Amino acid sequence: MTAPGDSFPLTNHRARLEQYLSKVRFSSTTVAGRIIEERPVGRLRNPVRPALVLWACEARSGDLADAVPVAAAFDLFDRFLLLHEELTRDCPTVARWGLGQSLNAGDALYALAFRSLAADVVNPGRRLEAARLVGEAVLEAIARDNDDAGRAGVLTGAALQSGAVIGGASERAARAFLEAGRLLAADPRAAVIPIRRYAGENALSQLDGVVAYLAERVA
């Protein structure tokens, strides 16, 4: 069991994700590429959600190689949403590059995310279903303007659900992971309840670390 004061959870999954993301490139010779590279996204984007894709896949004994591109897509979508959210306010990016180029950078992140969803596919059927779930979640998140809690619930639920789908979960099990993800964003300590029967003891122990990490931030 991981104590609340322990370090950032799922570090092994995060390290694997960062390795994959290091190979995702958009030309820095373009203005959009320079905007993407210069933004301090590391401290802004959600650090847990993409790793939860890998955790859910592993909890269902799935192939992590098929889940990593999906996790990368969540990271890129987070960056896209953050940039476009900034563009609704006065921000240094717009002041420096102008609104049009800033929007181009956001659109590039959006395209990179969908390219990642279609890359390095192991199981086409599972990946296609995961891509559908992710696309629907992003559209719903965009529609939830000025509702940060609702947006977090939608995206975190989709992260767990898509990871479970890549792991071969049944529709019923995948929906339990969806519910757990939504709870992680709103009431982290209740998140384990829907998936207790669908994940092993080791996976649930790892989730305890996520719950503790998020509970400190929700409180």
Total domains in the fold of the chain: 1
Residue found by looking up tokens 């990946």 in the block: 127
3-state secondary structure 11-78: HHHHHHHHHHHCCCCCCCCCHHHHHHHHCCHHHCCCCCHHHHHHHHHHHCCCCHHHHHHHHHHHHHHH
Q: What is the pLDDT of residue 5?
A: 39
Residue 77: CA atoms inside 13 Å, Cβ hemisphere, count? 30
Q: Is residue 142 part of a domain?
A: yes
Q: Is residue 41 part of a domain?
A: yes
Q: Is residue 129 part of a domain?
A: yes
- What angle do the packed helices 49-59 and 171-186 form, to 10 degrees? 150
Neighbours of 39 (CB within 10 A): 18
pTM here is 0.90
Q: What is the pLDDT of residue 20?
A: 94
CATH number for the domain spanning 101: value is 1.10.600.10
Q: Is residue 204 part of a domain?
A: yes
Q: What is the pLDDT of residues 85-140, one digit of tens each?
A: 887 777 787 778 888 888 888 899 999 999 999 999 999 999 999 999 999 999 99
Tell me which residues of the chain have a pLDDT lower than 50. Answer: 1-6, 43-44
Q: Is residue 6 part of a domain?
A: no
Q: What is the pLDDT of residue 14?
A: 92
Q: Is residue 185 part of a domain?
A: yes
Q: Is residue 4 part of a domain?
A: no
Q: Is residue 2 part of a domain?
A: no
The whole domain housing 82 covers 11-218
Q: What is the pLDDT of residue 43?
A: 46
Q: What is the pLDDT of residue 7?
A: 63
Average pLDDT of every residue of the chain: 88
